[in-house]
Amino acid sequence: MDTKGAVRINTWKIEAREIQEQLIKWRRWCHQHPGIGFDVEETADYIAAHLREWGVEVERGIGKSGVVGIIRGAWPGPVIGIRADMDALPIQEENEHPYVSKTPGKMHACGHDGHIAMGLGAAMLLARRRQELSGTVVLIFQPGEEGWHGAKAMIDDGVLVRHQVEAVVACHLGTLSPELALGQVGLTYGPIMAAVNVFEAWVTGREGHGAMPHNTIDPVVISAEIITAWQRILTREISPLYPAVLTVGQIHGGQTHNIIPAEVYLQGTIRYFHHEAGATLKTRLEEVMSGICSAWKGKYRLTFDQGYPPVVNDPQFTRFFNGIATSLVGEENVKVLEYPLMVSEDVSYFLQEVPGTFFLLGAGNPAADYPHHHSRFGFDESILWLGTALLAATAWQYTAEKIY
């Protein structure tokens, strides 16, 4: 990176540090006012009001309840998107700090309140410098990340095409990766989070008394055999170079100890990074289930939800981002992750459409802190300025030197 670029990077660090208290204030307000799925209007109003305060052009109701801010530079140039998700989770908060959720049964238990604050911080800093900006920065505040396909809804509403977005950068803070200490940046040059599908299955037999099992078709025994056989798909039919997970999380069947039920219900998840592994899992789950049910005279039904695709970082953009992050935090604090994560994120939809990078920001101690989606989840707010600086500097530098 040239000297001019290095000076600008240092400027973002200084200016982001200067608004750290404001970032904390925004984060805590959002934490107190959580919304679930697409029901995030209070948060959307808050975001839109701040954007308008800084003279940022605002679009509302994109992807049902998303907010888009458009910062148009004084000079022509490329367009980059900064994405921040803004929904919470249906969890009753058990923390005791002074800014706990004001809504029973709803909580920011994954860090999206921090993402909102960093997105607002980047918007404020970039808006201040719009007269020096070449190109356009599109701030994408997205609802419905937690299983609602909010990213796809915003894309279907034209957020990328309408603004001719050419790249996207996004962040997830917290303790997701045990490889990252506080303030360290984690990235990959390919998959960073897994695809996920939820499956539901029903095994139907013939009900009867447990004392006379020969008169029944036992769906409990059939289900047990299916679950065991499914696990062999992972170890014998998918290459060990293609990581994959198959988890059965629910089994329901029967009402009492001595009656063999008519049906058993199963629910679980498959996760993978490579489409070949996903295709094998979906095909073979059904083939194995069909074969076992046929052998024992049972019937079955198996369905998969739409799921999220894997989150795959663009190598060229990630090399560019690595340079930005290294300038801000030092080479020793930028980690190319040895292991991608088996959790999922719908930022994957954006990265399917345009190149970009989804990076992790260490915001706590993975070994000691409560995990994401826990009723006592929290993160170290001291890194909010850093996430803001990373987003703002990446957007600025991309519009200045477009890497494609």
Residues with catalytic roles: 87, 145
- How far is 364 from 370, CA to CA, in rounded Å? 9
- How far is 234 from 211, CA to CA, in rounded Å? 36
Nearest to 205 by CA among 293, 303, 302: 293
Residue type, 63: G
- Return the residue matching tokens 């238990």: 109
- Return the residue matching tokens 């796809």: 152
Q: Which helix (H) or strand (E) holds 61?
A: strand 57-62
Q: For residue 94, give both structure tokens.
A: 């058990």
Residue type, 201: A
Task: Report CA torsion sign: 229, 232, 236, 242.
Answer: positive
Residues 6+ away with beta carbon under 8 Å from 14: none
Q: Where are the alpha helices (DSSP H) in 104-143?
A: 112-128
Give the angle subtended at the CA of 274 by the CAs of 273 and 280, to the nearest 5°.
115
Nearest to 107 by CA among 40, 158, 33, 159: 33
SS3 77: strand
Write b or e for each residue in 226-256: b if 16 or more Cβ atoms lie within 10 A of its Cβ, otherwise e. bbeebeebbeeebeeeebbebebeebebbee
